[in-house]
Structure 1
Amino acid sequence: MDELQAKHRKEAKDLQSRITQKKKQATKKTRKGVNDECEQLERELKERQAKELAALDGDGNSGEEGSEEDAQAAVRQSEHDAQPSDGAVPSLEGPSMSDDTTEGIPKGGLYREPHQSRKPNRAKARLARRAAEQEATIKEAKEEVKNIPSQRDIERKKMLAAFKERGLQEKEIRADGHCLYSAVSDQMAQLNLDMKPKIETKVVEDGERENEVPTYRKVRRAAADWIQQHPDDFAPFLEEPLEEYVRKVRETGEWGGQLELLALAKTFGLDINVLQAQGGVEKIEGGGDAEKALWLAYYRHGFGLGEHYNSLRKAP
């Protein structure tokens, strides 16, 4: 029983940690579904643990305690015996009773068995006690989780310290899947850098007007064309065909990462510095002027969709 209780406490704590992570990552659109899922997980855990406790009690009991099912069957049989079908009052004839020994009882009368109080159902009491202990364990686990700083808060605190140390301030970019390309285009606009790629590329498709194409879309297309024209530099790192990967970079809202940053550094001839939460800076060289390097902030936990890039600039 001690081992089972320890196992149940660990399962409750693990589940609470999972629920906390799920709720942190939920968006406005997915919050209701996540809450329903979490409630279902808690309900399933309680039911399974109650069954395990009941099974252990059933295996370990004998004699007058018995299992919960045996106790309930005994109660039902007792009630049945106490109420005969013909409606007669249950009684027993007295053993060899005579007028001398049955004073106050008519000769040939009936001897009624004294009322016996029903014993408490010990199996049910144990189950109730175990359920209360489980509730207390889950509540305790929830309180512990509340006191643990979230990864998001820790990351944000470290980033703010890194900004202050390097004299930088942040411009938040919308977390929509295009954040890397939007941050790069924002940086290039701030530094008045030419957005013309080194290679021939169709940043403006047939039928589009130059001023109607969002700058992040032009940056996406430039990265896609560079990857497509330099397959030997990128294909070994892909888990899918190069053409399909290029299509996603060019046409969808697929997140960008290390490979896209390298492609952009090369095609625009720029150096890109990526500041991370631990204070380190990842430098991606593109052969540009170090004084006009792009600065991006990289978050792993700070935004609902996952990894995210913001644009940085010198603090006033």
Structure 2
Amino acid sequence: MDVAEENSEEALLIKQHRKEKKEVQAKIQCMKNSVPKNDKKRRKQMTEDIAKLEAEVEARHKEKLEALAQKPTEPTQVSSITNGVTSLDLGSEEPVQQPRVSKAQKRREKKAAQEKERDDRIAEAEIANLSGARHLESQKLAQILAERELQIRQIPSDGHCMYRAIEHQLNEQGNSLTVANLRSQTADYMQKRAEDFLPFLTNSSTGDMYTQEEFQKYCTDIVNTPAWGGQLEIYATCVWTGGALQFCGTTGHKYREQLVLPDINCHLEDGDL
């Protein structure tokens, strides 16, 4: 192609279209990098957005080239425009290099996606509960506690709720223990007295009592994950903190209380939990 052809209207238009194609590819790559692979809902929407974006670009470019082709031109010029349309293929462009994402960043993004997914589930459940039995029971409990000059303190259902509740009450008494402290020392107490807790832990698949390895993992999860605290953790926390824990709740229309005392010398038996 000589200088005149390079500066012709159709050549400049094709050059502009190529530039726009590269910009679109860069934008598409950024869209792909911004959505976690495990977020199926957002990735589905992203795929639709990409398809729509590509279609819009193709349609706009085709319209401009066809408009240019309608102008009086020499046969060779029309041919060059047609060839230009054929050569404009999104798939033929070289991929745009994007900044490399570190492993730490990937872990942060994965954790953020998991937390968002969990928060979404919690929010949906809370909305559903507004007209459910749980909400009505909460209202009943609040009324009973108000008569005793007590009140309900809202704590996020993030897996740490039991420990956060105990942390709050201890802090009210001037104790500076944190959720991390409570989890760590509760797991430590249970590990040192495994014989008291193992009979109450069974493998959900086999129904057999936990092995030492399974029990060790159970205790490790108490420390390192937002695993929910149950009766075993309540008992262990009560004993090593040396404080009595009183639990209030409603079952249907019935109000009930449970008092756990820090009897260090007692051993758990079937029916205690």
TM-score (normalised: structure 2): 0.43
| Larger fraction in strand | 1
Say which structure, 1 or 2, has more relative contact order (CA 8 Å, 6+ apart). Answer: 1
